Amino acid sequence: MATSSLLSRISEVASSAGGALLGRAQSLRLPGVGTASAKDSPEVAARRWRAVTVLTDRIGTGPDLPAPLAAFGDRIEVRTTPAPAGKGTELAARFTAPADATDERVGKLREALRQAKQLIETGEVLRIEPQPEGRRPETPQGRVLEGAAARAPKEGVL
């Protein structure tokens, strides 16, 4: 394998590892560290409602569902509930079939909920790329961070 191919492969692996690392780090339950983000068992996690609270009186359902969630079709169920004390409306979703709730798909559902909230509250989904940046050398640690950042919209405790 040529040196450039090998380096490219190392970069890909590092980037993938960064994304996986972010996901795994949020599954750890270490004494005194990260307990706020510890995940449920896969069975419980598959049935848990993923929810955001949106500062609005009403959120459309059925055909009026925000586009990022509508894209899931009937693979998800959605519920909306008035939030207490004027905090808006709670928007929750989960996969209809627990078997559909793989880590990857739950990640996409998290991202869709966040985007739905942004669309309702601000009218658009915030973009970050492209933007100014200096030279980004192909280092393993750099690629790990890039992988983690790329995965970050789909990760978290949501």
Minimum distance from CB of 151 to another protein (Å)? 7
Q: Are 155 and 22 in contact (CB under 8 A)?
A: yes
The residue among 61, 90, 88, 64 whose CA lies nearest residue 77 is 61
Q: Are 90 and 53 in contact (CB under 8 A)?
A: yes
Which residue lies nearer to another protein by CB, 27 or 77? 27
Which residue lies nearer to another protein by CB, 96 or 142? 142
Minimum distance from CB of 141 to another protein (Å)? 9
Residue type, 86: G
Element (H, E) at 25: helix 3-25
Which residue lies nearer to another protein by CB, 62 or 137? 137
Which residue lies nearer to another protein by CB, 77 or 102? 102
Q: How many CB atoms lie within 10 A of CB 113?
A: 23
Task: Assign 54 to helix, strand or coil.
Answer: strand
Minimum distance from CB of 74 to another protein (Å)? 27
Minimum distance from CB of 126 to another protein (Å)? 6
Binding residues vs another protein (CB under 8 A)? 22, 25-26, 32-34, 36-37, 52-53, 55, 87-88, 110, 114, 117-118, 121-124, 126-137, 139, 142, 145-146, 148-149, 151-158
Give, in degrees to the nearest 5, the angle at Cα 129 between 20 and 68: 70
